[in-house]
Amino acid sequence: MDQKPLKVPDQKEFDLFAANRGFEKVFNSSYSKAYALFSFALSDYLRNIKTDLKVLDIGCGDGWTAEFISNFAKGRYLGIDSSEESIRKMLKRIPASSGLKVTGVMESAEWMVNPKSVKQIEKLLEGKPDLIICNAACHQIRKSYPDLRKMFASSSSILKQEGTLMVGDYYFPEDMTDEEVEDDMKWIKTETGQTPTPRSGFIKRNDMEHLLESSGFISDTAREIRANRDINLIFYLFVSRKTFSQTKTSLPLS
């Protein structure tokens, strides 16, 4: 996998995006099918939680995932995002009366691979996380920190042995022409206002599968769906757990 960082859009673009439109509006409208798949998998997980939950969300955006979780579970939630405006909005949208205590850290993904940061994460969550989420963020994270294997390996070391990792992202199908990709990128710019990620910036599903395996995870389920009728991007979602040994195990995909 190419580990050269891509051109990073101005941080103000992300901050403005969080302030004016919100990441959740794009995910549940422009990419409504992707939102449905992620929401179904997350709610299915949360329905089985019987104790206080500890969640680490890498690339948390403006807090719509935290708000979603607060409707199902109590506990602690730590969101990491490089956008100060996103963190500010997330903290504002979750009331103090909520059973989910939300904390935000304005940092890049590189921050969490530092051993000192690992200790800070466990301190803020009052223990190791039960659930780590990295949804629709890897293609953005790679623009400033391309070594995602280190990020996921760090996630494996932080996560409880019986914990769950949920990773979702997009990619352009290989049978799309360059012209079709260009049309999709123009649609993304028009609909979301964000600088679209080029095809080379996305991680294909098979590559993500291998990346997670090499980082110490095995996927119980992996699903994908076309993001929206207006666009050809494909959204995939892995629901994974830590491996218990170095034995090679095949992935049961549904």
Reported as a single tens digit per residue, the pLDDT across 77-131 is 999 998 888 899 899 988 888 899 999 999 988 899 999 999 999 999 999 999 9
Amino acid found at 98:
S
What is the structure's pLDDT at 28?
Answer: 74
Take residue 180 and report the two structure tokens written for it: 């079709």
Q: Which CATH superfamily is domain 11-242 in?
A: Vaccinia Virus protein VP39 (3.40.50.150)
246 has a pLDDT exceeding 80: no
Q: pTM, whole model, 2 decimals?
A: 0.89
User: How far is 182 from 173, CA to CA, in rounded Å?
Assistant: 13
CA angle 59, 148, 18 (to 5 degrees): 20
In contact, 9 and 195? CB cutoff 8 Å = yes
User: How far is 111 from 105, CA to CA, in rounded Å?
Assistant: 10
Contacts of residue 42, defined as CB under 8 A and 6 or more positions apart, other chains included, come to: 65, 68, 69, 133, 166
Mean pLDDT of 218-233: 91
24 has a pLDDT exceeding 80: no
What is the structure's pLDDT at 101?
Answer: 95
236: number of CA atoms within 13 Å, CB side? 21
The strand pair at 217-228 and 164-171 is best described as unpaired
Confidence of residue 50 (pLDDT cuts 50, 70, 90): confident
Domain map (residue ranges) of the chain? 11-242
Distances (CA, A) of 238 to 75, 169, 199, 233: 23, 9, 20, 17
**Percent share of the chain, pLDDT over 70:** 86
Mean pLDDT of 152-165: 95
Confidence of residue 72 (pLDDT cuts 50, 70, 90): very high
What average pLDDT is seen over the chain? 87
In contact, 239 and 220? CB cutoff 8 Å = yes
226: number of CA atoms within 13 Å, CB side? 8
**Which has the higher per-residue pLDDT, 129 or 144?**
129
